[in-house]
Amino acid sequence: MTDAAKDPCAHCEEMMQPYLDHILTEAEVIEAEAHLDECDWCRRRYRFEESLRVYVRQVVTEPMPDALKQKLAALRIPLN
């Protein structure tokens, strides 16, 4: 028996990204939503992941100032 089979929160964790990506089957969506309805911890984790995706999308669309680009370039470590 896998950890996910023993622990509904572990199973929910495995399904979190596919759930957010809308690639679960209808039965899996129902299962995930039922767990999110019952489990405060997983519901908070879901909200965090959902918010994180929003912030990442915003950052991707905002132009990076040249000064920041230069600072990041200076941090690069050559791969030799």
Quickly list DSSP for 24-37: S-HHHHHHHHHHHH
> Is 80 within a domain?
no
Place of tokens 């979190």: 16
- In this structure, which long-range contacts are made by residues 4-11, counting pairs with CB atoms below 8 Å and at least 24 apart in sequence? 8/35, 8/39, 9/35, 9/39, 9/41, 9/42, 11/35
Residue 79, in any domain of the structure = no
Which of the two residues, 30 and 4, has the higher pLDDT score? 30
Quote the pLDDT of residue 5: 56
* Number of domains making up the chain: 1
| The pLDDT value given to residue 6 | 75
pLDDT above 70 as % of the chain: 90
Asked if the structure places residue 38 within a domain, the reply is yes
In a domain, 63, yes or no: yes
Print the domain residue range for 50: 3-74
pLDDT digits (tens, 9 = 90+) for 43-74: 999 999 999 998 888 777 778 889 988 998 88
Q: How far are the Cα atoms of 42, 54, 73 from residue 14, in angstroms, in the given order?
A: 11, 20, 35
